[in-house]
Structure 1
Amino acid sequence: MLYRELVEVYQDLDSTTKRLEKTAILANFLGKVGEEDPELLSTVTLLSLGRVFPTWSEEELGIGAKLLMKAISMVVGVSAEDVENQMRETGDIGKATEKLYHKKSQITLFTQPLSIEKVYQNLVKMSKISGKRAQFKKIDYLMELLSASSPTEAKYLTRTVLEELRVGVGEGTIRDAISQAFSIAPEVTERAHMLTNDMGLVAEVALAKGEEGLRELTLKPGKPVKPMLAQLSPGIKQSIEEMGWAICETKYDGIRVQIHRHEGKIDVFTRRLENIAHALPEISDYIQKSFPDQDFIVEGEIIASRDGKPISFQYMLQRVRRKYDIEKMVSKIPLTLYLFDLLYYQKPVLDEPLKKRRKKLESLVKTDPGKLELSTQVIVTPEEIEKANDLFEVSIKGGHEGIMIKDPNAPYMPGIRGKKMLKLKAEPETLDLVVLGGTYGTGKRAHLIGSYLMAIQDENNQLKPLAYAATGLDDNTLQELSDMVEPLIISKMGREVKIEPSIILEIAFSEIVESPESETGYSLRFPVVKRIRNDRGLDEIDTLERVESIFRQSQKS
């Protein structure tokens, strides 16, 4: 199947903002692929999301904007500076590439049309290249594709390489399209995706085996799923009364992890589904010593501690990022793992109620104070609210964030945010936002970006500016953040820069206010940068729906 057929779908998707229309476009194309080239269905499904690999895969292309611009310049026959100038004008690598292709009529394109399979094969080959001269080899594979591309094909190919397809399609739209294309009940498709976190596999099974096949897909150790998410609690009393009774536990300020044991191996996955086991060898040791010799999946929080007290989250990030001298860091920044849930033990247990999963976890694990512990929790009825209040106070005094309030009868729902799991923090609520741009400072900070344009995602997964944040950064963090931003700058105009969306910041604020001038309809009062969130991915940033929810709640109080 030709790549231009997929590109035409991208164009159709880009031409509408209506989700139902996008779903119909994708459903028709997936159905066509299923009939004409079923072996390609998984690949097309992933490429429709702008991805080459499932979110949990450790494989990556390893190509940044600079390397991509170099490849474009070589194919088009212009300087890298010309490519950068065009990006500055358009603010988008895809549009810049398309314009350059149209301007350069001397480009000789191969007569053989580019196929979807060829595009995918070359991208996969790039991900497997490492070692000396790796960048040169990657450019060769990339140039082969770019040389065979039409201007429009090059536009979407370059976006795919950077995983920024920008056609307003997220996982929800793809799920609905698979259901529509292969006559599957939407809840069955959603469940299959929840348990596998692999949209390509879901499409493949939907075509080959229908609903029955999708119902057979299940959780497997070694393949992480998205974590169940918490909503903001309106208050301890109200939350517990609505649940009837609740499990309240300490909310730890660390990195949430999903730990898998399979075939004797321990994997430690972050919220972004990145495997960080290599950076935290003691966690694997704790797990091996504390659990039976069986396959399982448990969930918990890792915090950095000193003298039994939690220390700054930034120390935790130092451990996660470390690639060398890891043993030295083990003694320098000791870690404690707090476990709070069980998803799999010999078989999936996530459909069982939390109270049963927790009891099973307690029966399996051998705790080791200061190394591996179970989360501190209490059972609270509406008549015993003081127990929850006491836990909240003890947790805050212990240096933790607050408490979680969980429905004891709730199953584990991967990737779902709802009222079955609530959080209550001592500090005001925050938002995780992505950096879209920035402004250089003045005076002694003229070489640093001191103000950041932050964005949320809307219902079509499009990024929308919400606020500028310019306070809360000490000199060290400001320097670190500026160093992270520099390679991601797309364009500069005076002191203003546009940035490839990649860096996530946690932003605190005094309140959310309505703002007719803003694309979102809202803005933040007194936004402050709390920290860099290296543990969050672009698909985990907060949404317009959540901003609206916080705003509505604030109006009631």
Structure 2
Amino acid sequence: MLLHEVVATVAAVGATRSRRVKVDELAALLARLGPEEVTAAVGFLTASPRQGRLGIGWRSLTDLRVEHATTATLTVAEVDAEFDRLAVASGPGSAADRARLLHDLARRATPDEWGFLVRVILGELRTGALEGVLTEAVARAGGHPTDAVRRAAMLSGSLAETARIALFEPDGALQEVGLEVGRPVLPMLAASAATVADAVAVTGESSVEFKLDGARIQVHRRGHDVRVFTRSLAEITHRVPEIVEIVRGFDADSVILDGETLALDADGRPRAFQDTMARFGADADRSVVLRPWFFDILHVDGRDLIDAPLSERRAELARVVGDNLVPATLTGQPEVAVEFSRDALAAGHEGVVVKSLAASYAAGRRGSAWIKVKPVLTFDLVVLAAEWGSGRRTGLLSNLHLGALDPVGEFGAAGGFVMVGKTFKGLTDALLRWQTETFPEYETGRTAHVVRLRHELVVEIAIDGVQRSSRYPGGLALRFARVKGYRPDKSPAEADTIQALRALLPAGDSA
């Protein structure tokens, strides 16, 4: 199959809001793929190449200066082979090899194909071809029930491999996909609620658990062999020897555990999220020690537990992990759950997750069985600039550059604004149209991708917190920022200050 067929399908999917049309377009594409192409194509569609991260940054891609092809000739298989070569390039001279490979690939691609490949490589393909829609498309193309495809994908940890099985393996092959110690499973996800009482009203008798501000881990053990995976199913065993040793001490010969890891300070309180993630992503640094907490168990000593209720899984989990069980209280009473959530916040954690004790482990799904509750912080910030959107947002001003007031010039913008982050989250179609129509009235200049604005528009932004960052002059960045609405009632002078945001940094981080 030619790559341009994938690109055209992605454009069609991004141009519609209809889930049915998205599924139709994707199913038609999948049905035309050969068995040697399907895993690569699904990787392209989800911006998750079969080879994993290719180690290519934004600068390497944008610095390329080539004359692209005028005729589409690249095939899916050829691009997949080039990604193989990029993935294995390492050692002395590898930078030059990568540059040469990228240059050749860019030269052979049309402008549209290259734009698509850049988004695939950077993991920024926002077209509406999310895994849920693509799962339905795989089911339709292969003539299987969606639930069968979804279950196989969650147990194998790979929608791409599931698509190959669904499209090209004999009937019954999907049903043969099961849990396998050592092969990561897509993690179960949580919905959100505004209050703990709202969450308990949905889940009933619940396990109310600390929501730790760390990194999700999935741990597999068979005998002495322990493997640790991230939320995205990347293996990081070599980075976390302390977790490996702890799990080797558990009372189980084979086990699959779901949990979180984070670093603690000398007082036993959680260190900054950035500290945990820096240590989590390091191959050599051992100056910060990670501790694991586990909140679920999927398999133990030959028994699969994902279909068992949480009440049964928790009992087995407590037996296996002992003191490494995440703090929790079992209750169906909202007032008890609310008090426990206060304890979680007082201990320095994000909030709580409320989980139905009757629910099974729905890997890869975000349903109402798990509900997270975190305090929502809102700040009034000023729009400094906006970026032109892509996909369904092509032609619309979308991603906002956000600034906090620097009233005394502590960060070099006396009376002006210090950039603290970007977001396109929370923008409705109506807001996108309004921004595109209104922002030119405030324009002070532009590049091909960004329109700079007078610092006059105030927008209310919800965040989950802040973290240290050297990317912005204020030394911090917003976490999970999303637009709540514009505040025409407020002047820029009434915007929240960089000092107010920095006060959210954990003690010792604001210096």
With structure 2 as the length reference, what TM-score do the two structures score? 0.74
Conserved? CA contact 1:440–1:446, under 8 Å:
no
Q: Who is 1:365 aligned against?
A: 321
Match of 1:416 in 2: 365
- Is 2:376 aligned against 1:428? yes
Q: Given the alignment of the two structures, is residue 46 of structure 1 paired with residue 2 of structure 2, yes or no? A: no
Identity of aligned residues (%): 25
1:3 aligns to what? Answer: 3
Query: Aligned equivalents of 2:4 and 2:401: distance in 1?
Result: 36
1:374 matched to which residue of 2?
325
Distance 2:360 2:277 in 1: 30
240 and 118 in structure 1: CA distance in 2 versus 1, 3 angstrom threshold: closer
Match 2:401 to one of 438, 456, 466 = 438
Letter in 2 for 1:149: A
Q: Which residue of 1 aligns with 2:211?
A: 251
Match of 1:341 among 273, 290, 296: 296
Aligned to 2:86: 126
In structure 2, which of residues 148, 158, 166 is the aligned counterpart of residue 188 of structure 1? 148
SS at the partner of 1:375? Answer: coil
Match among 60, 74, 77 for residue 67 of structure 1: 60
List per-residue Cα deviations over 1:387-432 (Å, max 9, x = no partner). Answer: 435433443433333433221110011232332222344x33689x
Secondary structure of 1:205's aligned partner: helix
In 2, Cα distance between equivalents of 1:314 and 1:48 = 30
Deviations 1:325-358 (A, max 9, x none): x23x1xxx34432222101223431111101111
Which residue does 2:470 correspond to in 1?
A: 479
The 3-state SS of whatever aligns with 2:39 is helix
User: 2:448 corresponds to which residue?
Assistant: none
SS in 1 for 2:247: helix
Deviations 1:84-138 (A, max 9, x none): xxxxxxxxxxxxxx7xx67xxxxxx8xx943221111011110111122212111
For the 8 Å contact 2:262–2:271, the answer to whether it is kept is no
CA contact (8 A) 2:424 2:482 kept: no
Give the distance between the partners of 2:196 and 2:402, measured in 1 at CA: 41
CA displacement at 1:210 relative to structure 2: 5.8
Deviations, residues 412-457 of structure 1 (Å, cap 9, x unaligned): 11232332222344x33689xxx94536898674599624331227
Q: Which amino acid aligns with 2:306?
A: L
**Counterparts of 1:88-487 in structure 2 under 5 Å?**
113-209=73-169, 212-233=172-193, 235-237=195-197, 239-240=199-200, 242-262=202-222, 264-324=224-284, 326-327=285-286, 329=287, 333-345=288-300, 346-367=302-323, 373-382=324-333, 387-425=336-374, 427-428=375-376, 436=399, 438=401, 445=411, 450-456=419-425, 477=468, 479-481=470-472
- Aligned-pair distance for 1:508? 8.7
Cα distance in structure 2, aligned partners of 1:254 and 1:230: 15
C-alpha contact 1:404 1:422 (8 A) present in aligned 2: yes
Match of 2:143, SS state, is coil
Instruction: From the superposition, tell whether residues 181 and 142 of structure 1 become closer, same or farther in structure 2 (CA, over 3 Å).
Output: same
Q: Distance in 2 between matches of 1:243 and 1:389?
A: 14
Q: What is the number of equivalent residue pairs in this alignment? A: 447
Cα RMSD (Å) of the superposition? 4.1
CA contact 2:222–2:253 (8 Å) conserved in 1: no
Counterpart of 2:191, as a letter, is: Q
Aligned to 1:83: none
The structure whose residues are more often helix, as a share, is 1
> Does the 8 Å contact 1:257/1:270 carry over to 2?
yes
Instruction: Name the CA distance, whole Å, in 2 between partners of 1:377 and 1:399.
Output: 15
Kept in 1, the 8 Å contact 2:459–2:487? The answer is no
Aligned in 2, Cα 1:152/1:484: closer, same or farther, shift over 3 Å? farther
User: Closer, same or farther in 2 for the Cα pair 1:145/1:407, shift >3 Å?
Assistant: same
Deviation at 1:201, TM superposition (A): 0.9
Once the two structures are TM-superposed, the CA of residue 199 in structure 1 deviates from its matched residue by: 1.6
Task: Say if 1:449 and 1:478, in contact at 8 Å, map to a contact too.
Answer: no
What CA distance in whole angstroms lies between the structure 1 residues aligned with 2:263 and 2:93?
Answer: 38
- One-letter amino acid of the structure 2 residue matched with residue 310 of structure 1: P
Contact residue 305 and residue 336 of structure 1 kept, 8 A: no
Is the 1:252–1:402 Cα contact (8 Å) retained in structure 2? yes
Match of 2:479 in 1: 505
Provide, for residues 268-317 of structure 1, a one-character-per-residue CA deviation record: whole Å limited to 9, x for no partner: 33334343433332111111122433243333443423233333333323
Gaps (5+ residues) in structure 2?
380-386, 388-398, 436-457, 489-494, 506-511
Query: Given that residues 306 and 334 in structure 1 are in contact (C-alpha distance below 8 angstroms), is that contact kept between their aligned partners in structure 2?
Result: no
How big is the shift at 1:14?
A: 4.8
Q: Distance in 2 between matches of 1:483 and 1:272?
A: 30
1:365 match: secondary structure: helix
